[in-house]
């Protein structure tokens, strides 16, 4: 719990109104049940004749609440001691503490939200950037669920027609056309492939893309790092090898939270501590989404060799995008294809650098649903494998085609939570806080 202007204590369940009546005295009503639903009512909470708080209460009647149960919320003054005393008083009168995510779990079990929305709610609460919040909100509002439910219903209709065909197989009747089945499968393949392709970008947006600054000593890494974050965080010196360990800070640009990492300059050295810093810098390549390899544009004799060094380092990671950057552009006019230019003394060049990084995140997801859940990613890959195994519809016997299509129902149902086991639910809700 944190300090705030208001603290909310929430009761949910069949006994919520009874517990509320034992601890709360509304000022204009004899009981909480008389208070109109969704109406904030003033009153007091008293324990053994002692006033705990003068507060507001609101009730929600099942199923018209977030959880689908009867719910009462006490809006208290935001002192943690008051909230704890009220919680203990409620427990004394028959309530119990909620487990992590139990309110959301009840909402799911009562059919208020599906499993994709549960995962989206966790992402809404954890979002640290506008783009991550945008993706989570789209899922929370049910866009992914709606598409999945649509495919599931259409698949069930096709299966029903195929089952009907089996009853009239001797007569040779066809109730499901080849075009209808192939059209559905092609559409489903495209949708599944698009979601799978969006996964890495969605995950990066949720945690913030990690940008590694690499290069030789005095290439301008620490200076650029400081300029991007807006204050002097890294030590800058004309002496080579100043940076020994790596530093990480976040920069928000265009609704995306970038995580920049300053590292030790790459060179052979007899200094054991500096050598460890160089080793750590190279190890970080595998964890980076993008690597900005900084090259001192004023050192003309080094530029060609440094560009070759970029090609060598690319082989160390298949997932990282390498971007060579000529620094100190205010002191030279060198241009190299595929190489960005920047100067810490030219703010517009830093903005262009950030815009280049932003390009892969702000526009590609604007009109699509992005995947951020690993559970969903695994299930969609299983669907893709099964879709790839479905034979050409026109050459498949009705019974075999029906069996193939049925294998797609399981992952579709697991995605929305129509079919799910308790282990998955326990793992999912364990990531929520107690009050959600």
Tens-of-pLDDT digits for all 436 residues of the chain?
677 899 999 999 999 999 999 999 999 899 999 999 999 999 999 888 889 999 999 999 999 999 999 999 999 999 999 999 999 999 999 999 999 889 999 999 998 988 888 888 888 887 777 777 887 887 788 788 888 888 888 888 877 777 666 555 555 555 556 677 888 888 999 999 988 988 887 888 788 899 999 999 888 888 999 999 887 766 665 556 566 678 899 998 888 889 999 988 888 887 788 788 888 888 899 889 999 999 998 888 888 888 888 888 888 887 789 999 999 999 998 888 889 999 999 999 999 999 999 887 754 454 567 777 888 899 899 889 888 877 555 555 666 777 778 888 888 888 877 766 676 677 677 767 767 7
Residues 236 and 357 in one domain: yes
d(CA 245, CA 262): 8
Q: How many CB atoms lie within 10 A of CB 4?
A: 12
Residues 227 and 356 in one domain: yes
176 falls within a domain: no
Where among 362, 391, 420 does a domain terminate? Answer: 362
d(CA 20, CA 17): 5
d(CA 10, CA 185): 46
Burial (CB count within 10 angstroms: exposed 0-12, middle 13-18, buried 19+), residue 395? exposed
Among residues 254, 249, 251, 228, the alpha carbon closest in space to that of 131 is found at 254
Q: Which two tokens stand for residue 326?
A: 């000529």
355 falls within a domain: yes
Q: Looking at residue 248, which CATH number applies to its domain?
A: 3.40.50.300
What confidence score (pLDDT) does residue 98 get? 92
d(CA 269, CA 272): 8
* DSSP code for 230: T
What confidence score (pLDDT) does residue 74 get? 97
pTM of the model: 0.69
Find how far residue 97's CA is from the centre of its chain.
28
Q: Looking at residue 39, which CATH number applies to its domain?
A: 3.30.1360.120
Where among 301, 332, 362 does a domain terminate? Answer: 362
274 falls within a domain: yes
Where among 335, 362, 389 does a domain terminate? Answer: 362
* DSSP code for 431: T
d(CA 69, CA 158): 37
Q: Which two tokens stand for residue 272?
A: 């054991």
| Structural domain count, the chain | 2
Among residues 327, 24, 390, the alpha carbon closest in space to that of 185 is found at 390
The beta strand positions in 219-371, using DSSP E, are: 247-253, 256-262, 290-296, 321-327, 340-341
Peptide bond before 63: cis, by omega within 30 degrees of 0? Answer: yes
What confidence score (pLDDT) does residue 363 get? 45
288 falls within a domain: yes
292 falls within a domain: yes
56 falls within a domain: yes
- Please, where are the H alpha helices in 289-328? 300-314
189 falls within a domain: no
Which domain covers residue 317, as residue numbers?
208-362
Measured CA to CA in angstroms, residue 427 lies from 134, 423, 431, 434 at distances of 25, 6, 7, 14
Q: Which two tokens stand for residue 321?
A: 């995008």
306 falls within a domain: yes
Phi, psi of 222 (to 5 degrees): -65, -35
Phi, psi of 73 (to 5 degrees): -120, 135
What confidence score (pLDDT) does residue 168 get? 55
What confidence score (pLDDT) does residue 366 get? 46
Measured CA to CA in angstroms, residue 169 lies from 18, 157, 216, 381, 386 at distances of 61, 18, 74, 34, 26
263-278 b/e (C-beta count within 10 Å ≥ 16 → b) = bbbbeebeeeebbebb
Find how far residue 24's CA is from the centre of its chain.
39
Q: 């928000």: which residue's tokens?
A: 252
């Amino acid at each position: 719990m944190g300090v705030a202007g208001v603290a909310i204590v929430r009761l949910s369940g069949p006994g919520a109104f009874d517990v509320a009546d034992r601890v709360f005295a509304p000022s204009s009503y004899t009981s909480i049940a008389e208070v109109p639903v969704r109406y904030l009512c003033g009153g007091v909470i008293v324990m053994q004749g002692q006033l705990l708080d003068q507060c507001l209460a609101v009730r929600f009647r099942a199923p018209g609440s977030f959880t689908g149960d009867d719910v009462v919320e006490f809006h208290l003054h935001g002192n943690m001691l008051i909230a704890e005393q009220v919680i203990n008083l409620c427990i004394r009168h028959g309530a119990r503490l909620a487990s992590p995510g139990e309110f959301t779990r009840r909402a799911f079990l009562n059919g208020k939200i599906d499993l994709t929305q549960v995962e989206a709610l966790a992402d809404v609460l954890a979002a640290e950037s506008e783009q991550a919040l945008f993706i989570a909100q789209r899922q929370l509002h049910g866009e992914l669920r709606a598409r999945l439910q649509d495919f599931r219903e259409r698949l069930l209709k096709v299966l029903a027609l195929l089952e009907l065909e089996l009853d009239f197989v001797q007569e040779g009747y066809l109730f499901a056309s080849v075009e209808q089945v192939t059209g559905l499968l092609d559409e489903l393949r495209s949708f599944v492939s698009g979601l799978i392709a969006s996964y890495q970008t969605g995950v990066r947006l949720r945690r913030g893309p990690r940008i590694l600054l690499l290069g030789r000593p005095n290439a301008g890494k620490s200076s650029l790092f400081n300029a991007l974050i807006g204050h002097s965080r890294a030590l800058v010196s004309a002496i080579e090898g100043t940076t020994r360990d790596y530093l990480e800070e976040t920069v928000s640009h265009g609704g995306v939270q970038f995580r920049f990492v300053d590292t030790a300059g790459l060179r052979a050295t007899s200094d054991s501590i500096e050598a460890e810093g160089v080793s750590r810098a190279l190890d970080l390549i595998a964890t980076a989404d993008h690597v900005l390899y900084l090259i001192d544009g004023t050192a003309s004799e080094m530029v060609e060799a440094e560009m070759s060094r970029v090609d060598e380092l690319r082989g160390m990671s298949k997932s990282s995008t390498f971007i060579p950057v000529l620094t100190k552009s205010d002191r030279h006019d060198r241009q190299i294809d595929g190489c960005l230019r920047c100067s810490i003394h030219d703010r517009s060049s830093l903005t262009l650098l950030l815009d280049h990084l932003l390009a892969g995140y702000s526009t590609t997801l604007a009109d699509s649903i992005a995947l951020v859940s690993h559970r969903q990613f695994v299930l969609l890959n299983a669907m893709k494998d099964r879709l790839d195994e479905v034979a050409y519809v026109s050459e498949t016997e009705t019974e075999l085609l029906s069996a193939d299509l049925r294998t797609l129902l399981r992952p579709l149902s697991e995605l929305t939570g129509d079919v799910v086991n308790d282990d998955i639910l326990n793992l999912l809700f364990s990531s929520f806080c107690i009050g959600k």
